[in-house]
Chain A
Amino acid sequence: GEDVEQSLFLSVREGDSSVINCTYTDSSSTYLYWYKQEPGAGLQLLTYIFSNMDMKQDQRLTVLLNKKDKHLSLRIADTQTGDSAIYFCADLNYGGSQGNLIFGKGTKLSVKP
């Protein structure tokens, strides 16, 4: 089946930029998503990108997509302690009768003051 891979941990200092990377195997991927999960909470959609785009910017967030290498990244500028969370990359997969999300294992971002 299709797979989404992420590194498990990232540690940065407050004020630095964070870059969270993701690779996927679905060659027919159309939409890719980034979700944020704070401790003890559900997932919150941060942003998404359509596969015909290379980049999408939304305030402090920049998503870069390299479709040839099937590589997605999320850059958080001026990282704050409130950004500490687990970040999930997800791919919209059409393997079944309907589209469903395939999630990576999540990257835990720790922001040190």
Chain B
Amino acid sequence: NAGVTQTPKFQVLKTGQSMTLQCAQDMNHEYMSWYRQDPGMGLRLIHYSVGAGITDQGEVPNGYNVSRSTTEDFPLRLLSAAPSQTSVYFCASSYSALTSGGQETQYFGPGTRLLVL
């Protein structure tokens, strides 16, 4: 298994450009999520999905869209990039929603480093 993969690894955008960060997992996990990591801020949840066709907002959803047409893929779209979206983005997945308890290990991808000029 490749686990959780993210592309691209690095990206530079100009303000106003749009782009999609890709995330895929091959573990047949139902639960997938996107976080952003900023210096001194820890990880903050952007959006999450508990299964194909179901998404919900996290703590910081503004400026981002998601969709979940398949179990494997959970892309994150920046509609009009802003410098405030410069960050490291992590995708994560687990077999089921975390409400099932601590035994649900959440697997993280390697991250996408985004710079918005």
Footprint of B on A, CB under 8 Å? 1, 4, 8, 30-31, 33, 40-45, 48-50, 88, 92, 94, 96-101, 103-106
Contacts and interface: CB of A to CB of B under 8 A. Distances in A.
B41 A105 contact: yes
A98 B43 contact: no
A42 B40 contact: no
Question: Interface range on chain B: under 10, 10 to 19, 20 to 34, or 35 or more?
Answer: 20 to 34
Nearest to B57: A96
B42 to A, nearest CB: 4
B45 A101 contact: yes
A43 B56 contact: no
A45 B101 contact: no
B98 A100 contact: yes
Nearest to B108: A42
Interface of B: 4, 31, 33, 35, 40-45, 48, 50, 56, 58-59, 90, 92, 97-99, 101-102, 105-106, 108-111
A49 B101 CA distance: 10
A98 B108 contact: no
A48 B98 CA distance: 13
Contacts of A48: 102
A110 B114 CA distance: 26
Contact of B97 (A8, A30, A98): A98
A49 to B, nearest CB: 7
